[in-house]
Amino acid sequence: MKILVCISKTPDTTAKIAFTDNNTKFSEAGVQFIINPYDEWYALVRALELKESGGATAVHLITVGGADTEPVIRKALALGGDEAFRVNADSQDSYFIASQIAAHARQENYDMILTGKETIDYNGSSIGGMVAALLDIPYVSIASKLDLNGSTATLKREIEGGEEVCEVSLPVVISCQKGMAEARIPNMRGIMAARTKPLKVIEPEQVETLTSIVSFELPPAKAGVKMIAPENVEELVKLLHDEAKVI
């Protein structure tokens, strides 16, 4: 069984956010980039666990991006991925990205495609569902547990007020969230091996982009804290009513 894991490059959560080109593009100056945590900690690590237990024969990685994404996907290889593919295109359009992933998956006939539940930069949560639709295979979103029994996957999902357990036949696309696996750190052996593992560059399919970014905006700066004496209840009530507008 072959598994494809979708990998996305995202800014480190401590990065200072700024925009360029009339607020239409994220500024990468001085920003440290990482593997999207949901892709790394849950999708990739669970795929590796399945391979280690004998449930999978190969774990492939795919990303859509320029050459600047290669250090990130090399780290994913260091964690244990067998082979990586980079679609040589730079786009924030979900349909375009999903189409590139689906085109590759269609050629390779993967049994399972895993993604993180979302990326921490755009929070779109749309790639997995689009890939499944393009391939015409089942999709299970925000799964927190995955077990395999032959060609059947059993998944657990957190829902309002409880949990849902569902079964689906392979092939399938799954988006993964917290609970799917425990995070790993690459060891020296994995880091050295990653240097020689295949990373193939694929030219993109001709696909129309359906969305474009008009502008970004930073949230308003937080107001300063107002200190009120504990005995001054009337002033507190007035501020909550007139300024905070919560009562």
Per-residue model confidence as pLDDT tens digits over 178-187: 999 988 888 8
Looking at residue 104, what is its pLDDT? Answer: 97
Domain boundaries, the chain: 2-219
Q: What is the pTM of this model?
A: 0.86
Q: Does residue 191 surpass a pLDDT of 90?
A: no
Q: Does residue 223 surpass a pLDDT of 90?
A: no
Give the percent of the chain with pLDDT over 70: 100
pLDDT band at 239 (very low <50, low <70, confident <90, very high): confident
- Higher-confidence residue: 244 or 54? 54
Looking at residue 108, what is its pLDDT? Answer: 95
Q: What is the DSSP string of the chain?
A: -EEEEE--EEE-TTPPP-EETTTTEE--TT--EEE-HIIIIIIIHHHHHHHHTTS-SEEEEEEES-GGGHHHHHHHHHHT-SEEEEE------HHHHHHHHHHHHHHHT-SEEEEES--TTT----HHHHHHHHHT--EEEEEEEEEEETTEEEEEEEETTEEEEEEEESSEEEEE-TTS-------HHHHHHHTTS-EEEEPPP------------PPPPPPPPPP--TT-HHHHHHHHHHTS---
Give the percent of the chain with pLDDT over 90: 65
Contacts of residue 179, defined as CB under 8 A and 6 or more positions apart, other chains included, come to: 42, 144, 145, 156, 158
The CATH superfamily label for domain 2-219 reads HUPs (3.40.50.620)
Packing angle, helices 127-135 and 94-108, rounded to 10: 50
- Higher-confidence residue: 173 or 241? 173
- Distance between CA 77 and CA 165 in Å, rounded? 31
